[in-house]
Amino acid sequence: MSTAPQLVVHRDKELMARAAAARLITRIVDAQASRGSASVVLTGGRNGNGLLAALAAAPARDAVDWGRIDLWWGDERFLPDGDPERNATQARAALLDAVPLDPERVHAMPASDGPHGTDVDAAAAAYAEELARAAGPTDHGGVPEFDVLMLGVGPDTHVASLFPELPAVRETERTVVGVHGAPKPPPTRVTLTLPAIRAAREVWLLAAGEDKAEAAAIALSGAGEIQAPAAGAYGRARTLWLLDAAAASQLPRALYPPASA
């Protein structure tokens, strides 16, 4: 079932990052209050890391019980462990090293110097198994029900490492796949697929900057998910687009009417 996207537009990307960080804290605290723990999927990219840095600086960050949270990734650049370009390395620098997480609950995607070596497809299959082990009997499609799954939106409408027209975005069975020949470097990546993304309770798409305006307009105007992967990213309970004014500047007026005078 697809949930209609809701849009929240902030003045600029700094405010967007701070507001999204505050929203994430609330969401995690609520999940921990109702179910004892929270499950969050992180995204790579400037917007995702901006949000994590804003969270690190937020006074309310200590409201989160960091030992009772599972962190997963929506995609990873298939590089050696600790490489500065890895999404996990960047997330650690932005936030994760500063909070008392349970290392057993930080589920980084495999690196290219890990147990599967440079076999990205084996690495993807191993991550799918890790997700399946964490899934409960009432969860959907071999992944735990993530409370919040975040995705940065690329200028070509890619999300995670699901690029327009490439095989990964067409995957309907597997939850995690290897990506070969991605147009955004590095070319080899690991990614959740659309079915895995759609198992999340809430999916948040982050888009800031003028270079995202066209992508947001296309994805929100009824484009197909093979051509515009962001259009296929939605959550079971909620789909939220978090934008800054520049990224919202080409949206159809019906979606984002100009502010009243």
Ligand X SMILES: O=C(O)[C@H](O)[C@@H](O)[C@H](O)[C@H](O)COP(=O)(O)O
| Residues within the interface to ligand X (CB under 6 A) | 43-48, 75, 77, 87, 152, 154, 158-160, 184
Shortest distance in whole angstroms from residue 212 CB to ligand X:
7
**Contact call for residues 171 and 194 (beta carbons, < 8 A):** yes
HSE toward the beta carbon, residue 4, CA cutoff 13 A: 2
Q: Which of 136, 88, 85, 142 is nearest to 110 (CA)?
A: 88
- Give the residue with the Cβ less far from ligand X, 102 or 210: 210
Shortest distance in whole angstroms from residue 46 CB to ligand X:
3
Shortest distance in whole angstroms from residue 17 CB to ligand X:
11
**Contact call for residues 234 and 196 (beta carbons, < 8 A):** no
**Contact call for residues 196 and 141 (beta carbons, < 8 A):** yes
- Give the residue with the Cβ less far from ligand X, 32 or 166: 166
- Give the residue with the Cβ less far from ligand X, 125 or 197: 197
- Rounded to a whole number, what is the largest CA-CA distance in the chain? 59
What sign for the dihedral angle of Cα 7, 8, 12, 14?
negative
- Give the residue with the Cβ less far from ligand X, 70 or 75: 75
Shortest distance in whole angstroms from residue 137 CB to ligand X:
30
